[in-house]
Amino acid sequence: MLVEEVINYCKNKNKAYIDYPFGDIPICFKINNKLFAQLYPLENDYKITLKCDPMLAELYRKKYEGEVVRGYHCPPIQAIHWNTVYINKSVEDEIIYEMIDHSYDEVIKSFSKKIQNQLLEENYM
């Protein structure tokens, strides 16, 4: 999976945008000021960190041991809610896209119903 493919997929999510709060790396993808993905496009360390339901996150970590790990940059209390996925390993592209979708949806669910409805309305206008 190419860096450009991941960038395009993330930024094409409804109302998603790119931000650089930490410098050039990671490339952060947000919706309504909340982070849903952090992409590290380094050739020797190509990975993405994504928000995830803790139970599903643990399943991914067990299935893809060593390739999907707890959010490496997060404090222990938050790490259970984030997975870091090493791209171009044995994790299929479709699974990575599903993880990105799930991350985006988890962030959407964190908003109030009013904000969720506004985001949905804007998607269909």
pLDDT in tens, 43-82: 888 999 999 999 999 999 999 999 999 887 766 667 788 9
> Which of 77-86, 87-96, 112-121 tops mean pLDDT?
87-96
Q: Check pLDDT > 50 for residue 36.
A: yes
Looking at residue 96, its pLDDT comes to 96
Looking at residue 125, its pLDDT comes to 42
Domain ranges of the chain: 3-112
Mean pLDDT of 77-92: 86
Q: Check pLDDT > 90 for residue 98.
A: yes
Mean pLDDT of 112-120: 85
Picking from 102, 66, 105, the residue whose alpha carbon sits closest to that of residue 86 is 66
Looking at residue 11, its pLDDT comes to 96
CATH class (in words) of the domain with range 3-112 = alpha beta
Q: Check pLDDT > 50 for residue 28.
A: yes
Rg (CA), the chain: 14
